[in-house]
Structure 1
Amino acid sequence: MVRDILLQIAQVATVLLLSPLLQGLILQWEERVQRAQGPGIFQPYRDLWKLFHKQQVVPETASFIYWLAPIVAFTCMLTVPILIPVLTNYPLPASDMGDILGGGLILTLGAFMITLAGLDSGSAYGGIGASRSAMLVILAEPALILVFVGITLLAKSMLPFVVNHLLVRQPELYWSPAHLFLVAAFFILLLVETDRLPIHSSTHIEVYMIEEARVLEYSGPLLALLKWASMMKQAIFYILFCNVLVLPWGLSYRGEALGVLGALIALLLKFMLVAAAVVFVETAQARLRYYRYQEPLAASFLLAILAIVANQLR
């Protein structure tokens, strides 16, 4: 139906347009917690606008990967919202292209291309950021796969819509140890994948930066695409955490205009709740030495295993 196609486009547009707002909200709350004024919540939109209107400067050592990586990363982040419940709790026409594992692989492809871009320029900072990111991925990706396996065993399906329905209809499953372990494991991965673990630095002037180091050689429109893709990835992880695991309520059942508007408002409220928890964890905990990154990731890995064991004993 035409309405379902429009809803599919609306889901992608929601992630595309709301991701800078989520980033601005988090940045402002972080500054307010530290008793600073902070930028406005719409500052990421202004930053993207300025970057799209700036001149493109390309390193002499860059190859075609330098140009290809931002486009692939941005396209990957546009693809994942098609596969997950953003506004509706039922699959839309193109939602059967892949399951939750397929969405995870697409997210990984985007991150892999950005890592290649960091190495491609030949910059020392790019190499440091790429190597540090790879070290995080070595532990983060197995934990993420185990979380997806735990979700599959819990719902007997790899479709996120099925998980959403089961958690809404079966409160005993929602409060089961297996589900609670999965929520805790995924929250740690959320901090890692969105660069909010207290080993990251969101500025480009500190030696322990990771995400910023990989894109340090970019400028102009390509840098805007990379930053926008990073914001969209953050929004996607928030949506998976909220609409699939923690707060599966508030989605549209029939796809009517009023229901979709209510789902959009509910999504904003969910973003605010999770963002408050993330800001609290990031600011309340002292910054860790980089080589302690394996401690929270190992905890996430063990929690995912406990979720699988608890599900088998249920």
Structure 2
Amino acid sequence: MSFASPWWLLGLVVVVGLVVGYLVLLRRRRRDVVRFTNLELLNSVAPKRPGWYRHVPAAAMIAALAVLTIALAGPQAEAKVPRNRATVVLVIDVSLSMQATDVAPNRLAAAQAAAKTFADQLTPGINLGLVSFAGTAAVLVSPTTDRDSVKRAVDGLRLSESTATGEAIFAAMQSIDSFSRSVAATDAEGPPPARIVLMSDGKQTVPGPDGENDPRGSFTAARKASEAKIPVSTISFGTEYGTIDIEGGRTRVAVDDASMKEIADLSAGQFFTAATEDELKQVYADLSEQIGYEVRRMDTSKPWLAGGALLLVAGLCIGLALGRRLP
């Protein structure tokens, strides 16, 4: 916990002084009682005083002053609050390898289910867009807070040949840029922070399996994203044992963790792996938590004010009940 106005805490010195003064008065009272040598007469004329609980009103009043002093200092604490401004583009691989059944019922169906859950989990203020890619990339939904349009587009995903990962990242960046320009024209705060979430199960094949550093390759796109301050969080989805049927033969379509991790590293994003639909949903849930919320320092003085007021009222009430006077 920190304080907005810590100088108010010097008031606690006054509180300590009151405690010391109260103890001194109690000691002096005991000394005066001892000086009264005729104790039998004292017992007959002095009213019977309550026990230890006679100190409760004073203790409550002093505690109230301490708590109210802390409230005046403006206590602050870190709190997680929903983001009201952010842009996320979900990029989903729909190459033929996504028909592999190593993830039940198949990779594409599992990816669709997890993507829709991700859309529902994002906080309302997040603008979500959707890009699909195989041999080419297509912006299916520009960033929007309308989750239903994104989910409908996810349901309509269809498989195609090849994997143009770099083109997909460039398409997502262009979608973010267009949206940011439109926002900047009307929002004094400027464009919101953006992120790309890329889910793929295989290695880039367009412009070639070894063309990541090509001008339109995935590594080049990741570097451009880093320059634009748009991190690319990658999800390598699938297993080493996935296969698909091509022209009557079985073709192995193992995931390519290495290239997906490199994309994340080059763009200052995060790298995740998922081998089941549940794992993919958990990855999306973690990303939703990171993207949808931010940690801010929030004022927490209200509970201190309420506590101080309650202690003050309690001290007054107990003082009136015990001694028919204010403490």
TM-score (ref. length: structure 2): 0.27
Question: Comparing both structures, which one devotes a greater share of its residues to strand?
Answer: 2
Q: Find the structure with the greater CA-based Rg.
A: 2
TM-score (ref. length: structure 1): 0.28
